[in-house]
Amino acid sequence: METQIVSPVSMRRQELIVEAASRLFLSPGPGRVSMDDLARELGMSKKTIYRHFPDKHSLLTAVVDRQFAAIERTLITAAENPEDTPFSEQVQRFLLAAFSALGRIGAAQLALGRGDAVLRQRVEQRIDAVVYQRLDELFRNGHRRGLLSAPPELLGEITRGALERLLNSQVPRELNYTVADLLRATVDTVLYGAIRPDSDKEAGS
């Protein structure tokens, strides 16, 4: 089998196509942007685009993979120096990084119905691999260190649900809270509970 050699010019053109597709497809939605729109944005023919990507689906897959590669780098940076950081702060920092990164690419809308079924499945797989598996490992590590009494699997499921809900929620706007504030409150609730230690004493007074 012959190895196909891709020239630097061809690779750069492919990168430009994916960059432009990211800007167009992840803003209004994949279903609303045509390959004609992309060709106009790039100032090149559709034939040139199809030379690099045989169809719109393969291009969208490349866009998703590119975005999640960036998210992965962000989360790796967020997880640096864990031994110098309190565990609750590690979880908060991870979730804030994940939330802002997922929000930038409209991951929730993609996963919940924007685009075709195969693309949604791809987004869900990448969210699981890049975000949730790392979150689960973070909780498992906390449990191994004796910092958590609840099963890490349960904490992962609860936090995952909260993150997904906040990605689509109007609660931050309604409560006049920042998403960062709500994520910190979520972490505090998951790790320490919602009942204040002195609440029983106050109720009896």
Give tens-digit pLDDT for 17-70: 999 988 887 765 555 678 899 999 999 999 999 999 999 888 888 988 888 998
What's the predicted TM-score (pTM) here?
0.73
Q: Sketch out the chain's domains with CATH numbers.
A: 1-54 (1.10.10), 61-195 (1.10.357.10)
User: First and final CA of the chain: distance in angstroms?
Assistant: 82
Q: From CA 140, how far away is CA 138, in angstroms rounded?
A: 5
Q: What is the pLDDT of residue 61?
A: 87
Q: What is the pLDDT of residue 77?
A: 85
Region of residue 179 (left: phi > 0; alpha: psi -120 to 50; beta: else): alpha
Sign of CA dihedral 187, 96, 29, 45: negative
Q: From CA 118, how far away is CA 68, in angstroms rounded?
A: 16
Give tens-digit pLDDT for 147-202: 888 899 999 999 888 888 877 777 767 777 777 788 788 888 888 875 655 544 54
Contact 94, 79 (CB under 8 A): yes
